[in-house]
Structure 1
Amino acid sequence: MDLSAFPRVALGSWPTPLDDAPRLAAALGGPPILIKRDDVNGLGAGGNKLRKLEFLLGQALEQGADTIITFGALQTNHGRQTAAACAKLGLRCELVLTAKVPMEGDAYERSGNIVLDHMFGANVHVCADAEESAAAYEKVNHDKAVTLPTGGSNGLGTLGYVAAAAELVGQLHERGIDNALVVVPDGSGATAAGMALGTELLGWPGTVHAVSVSHPAAEAEQVLRSLGAEAAGLLGEPAPELGHVTVTDDTVGPGYGVPTPEMWSVLKLFAETEGVVLDPVYTGKTAVKFREIAAVGEVPIVFLHTGGLPGFYGYAPEAVARFGPA
């Protein structure tokens, strides 16, 4: 897979580590577990969006952009990483955020990702609904502005995880692992789509399990396939079959960004066995499904850690109530 034809800016430190998780595997009583640490990149507190932004901002700079506009929920990881990347590249960043998650209080509304957005110099527009968001967008859009989709999820952004798939398969091969199950969070879709497309193009014999954290499984799969086809088209390839991909939604709980008891328990499990912190929105709910799969798995299982640590602090009161000192 030759991605050299696409403009790209260096934002991350690749490859990210692929760590063994023996204590987690022992606790679950299943096959070997590895954690792909896409959370540990330094820029903007790390996370999966940096891979997408390398391509998205590479194209924006080639087009002569001086401003980047993007969207998300109040505690958006994508917005925080976009703000950090814009700071590094000297671009103006406009974040149009919608308070669509039913969470409130100072921790959620003023800390976590949103305080970092301001620290990175972004102009943050907090909107109550879609109508207000559209009005805010119209005010900041101009000829030299480039608009990025929510989560950086379009065909071009998906290429970031096509590259990640090649990286991961290479790391597994170096360990003598040619068949594994990769469990990946699925929100706006491009991370899972890129991993699915990349592994198919490589002819890798393993499987990919996408855990939806926001949408019904059928809708999430449709988006994944659409993004995969769009990215394949950019590469001059036919739409992928994706027969090795499964999509589930049974750990979403009451809704996107709303904590569940199972999510809190698996955050504690990862923390006390491997010292790894997950976030309540993406990796936490994905890990609930991962725990279920790993307990009965037969091949090595890779957990794709997409980051989100700053968002954890938006849920600090709930975390303190569960894990803090008595």
Structure 2
Amino acid sequence: MTSDGRTPERASLGTWPTPLEPAPRLARALGLGPDDLWIKRDDLTGLGGGGNKIRKLEWLCGAALADGATTLVTTGAPQSNHARLTAAAAARLSLRAVLVLAGTPGSSASSAPGNLALDGLFGARVVWAGSAGGDALVATAAQEAERLRGQGEVPALIPFGGSSVTGARGYAECGRELLTQAPDLTTVVVALGSGGTMAGLVGALGAGRVLGVHCGAVSDPAGSVSKLVSGLSDAHQAAPEALRLRLDQVGDGYGALTEPVMSALTLTARTEGIVLDPVYTGRAMAGLAAAAEDGDIRPGQRTVFLHTGGLPGLFGHQATLTRAQAALTWED
């Protein structure tokens, strides 16, 4: 919503509809039928290297423009896909971008390439917030917005992960788009980060057809999604206990590589030539594999895996790069 409560017009940032592609070799490897598994390619949304945040940012940036914003301010981890795409959206819309990121200059996370290199390429300014996380990170962003306001700028605070009721509209639209591409779909599997992507899909498809795989980005994934769903005026209502969630793929925490995730990355790459990232889509695919194994996803049903992007983040994740390089074979 805009600051005065109006529904904003969308900013034009992405390329729609994104493709829906069959994944028969991966399906067979997971014990499904060759026509059972399809991949919704929201990694191919166009702007800034692609990814799911573009659908959210179309609505969020539309609201910011309607309010006369000159600068977008958002938060995230050092390798945040959302921060990278906010910077790209700002460049497209002739706005400035300030990214308030957890960490300090020179730390292993803040000196890795990946998304951070693209943040610089898009012209964003980074404010390092130290070890602050959660509410403290949001408070630092609010302070930065006040500082900008004092300099005559009009800052727009873009929420963590783009996840607000306004941002979730983008994925309610995606759910409707999916219904035109695969009207017989039974389950959409999606990474659950800040919650807005899953919430929008639930708003369009209902809780029973959306399986969210928790990635460890928020402390209360069910509550976060349920709150956003309830704010979508055209949404199905979804109490936290009604949501389909897998909480078994977090491992040692957000950002930590697990064996199921590495297996999912490798299997997807070697069967379909598609690259996932180790934090979000890798966990979502590991959750899909676990759901196929325990019977929550079954042969004969149309399952869609939502590829939310995140490729640049892989190049900022040293553990994954080390494992991938170790798998190389060569001859003298």
2:164 corresponds in structure 1 to: 154
1:310 corresponds in structure 2 to: 312
1:170 corresponds in structure 2 to: 180
| Number of residue equivalences | 308
* Alpha-carbon shift at residue 29 of structure 1 (Å): 1.6
1:224 corresponds in structure 2 to: 225
SS at match of 1:94: strand
Structure 1 stretch displaced more, 289-298 or 111-120: 289-298
Deviations 1:4-56 (A, max 9, x none): 95311111111100000000011112141100100012210000000000000
2:3 corresponds in structure 1 to: none
What letter corresponds to residue 51 of structure 2 in structure 1?
A: G
Q: Which of structure 1's runs of 4+ aligned residues deviate more than 6 A?
A: none
- TM-score of the superposed pair, with normalisation by structure 1: 0.87
2:27 corresponds in structure 1 to: 25
Aligned pair partner of 1:251 in 249, 252, 259:
249
For 1:104 and 1:146, locate their aligned partners in 2 and report how far apart those are by CA, in whole Å.
28
Q: Which has the higher contact order (CA 8 A, sep 6+)?
A: 1
Structure 1 stretch displaced more, 142-151 or 154-163: 142-151
Structure 1 portions without partners, runs of 5+? none
* Alpha-carbon shift at residue 216 of structure 1 (Å): 7.5
For 2:304 and 2:241, locate their aligned partners in 1 and report how far apart those are by CA, in whole Å.
19
For 2:174 and 2:138, locate their aligned partners in 1 and report how far apart those are by CA, in whole Å.
32
Aligned pair partner of 1:319 in 310, 318, 321:
321
For 1:46 and 1:313, locate their aligned partners in 2 and report how far apart those are by CA, in whole Å.
15
What pairs with 1:2-21 in structure 2 (closer than 5 Å)? Answer: 6-21=8-23
* Alpha-carbon shift at residue 117 of structure 1 (Å): 0.4
Aligned pair partner of 1:184 in 156, 181, 190:
190
SS at match of 1:180: strand
2:269 corresponds in structure 1 to: 271
For 1:300 and 1:135, locate their aligned partners in 2 and report how far apart those are by CA, in whole Å.
44
* Alpha-carbon shift at residue 240 of structure 1 (Å): 4.5
- TM-score of the superposed pair, with normalisation by structure 2: 0.86
What is the root-mean-square deviation in Å for CA atoms of aligned residues? 2.5
What pairs with 1:130-149 in structure 2 (closer than 5 Å)? Answer: 130=132, 134-135=139-140, 137-141=142-146, 142=149, 144-149=154-159
What letter corresponds to residue 213 of structure 2 in structure 1?
A: V
Question: Residue 215 and residue 97 in structure 1: after superposition, are their counterparts in 2 closer, same or farther (change >3 A)?
Answer: closer
- Would the aligned equivalents of 1:155 and 1:231 in 2 still touch at CA under 8 Å? yes
Question: Residue 133 and residue 228 in structure 1: after superposition, are their counterparts in 2 closer, same or farther (change >3 A)?
Answer: closer
SS at match of 1:39: helix
SS at match of 2:271: helix
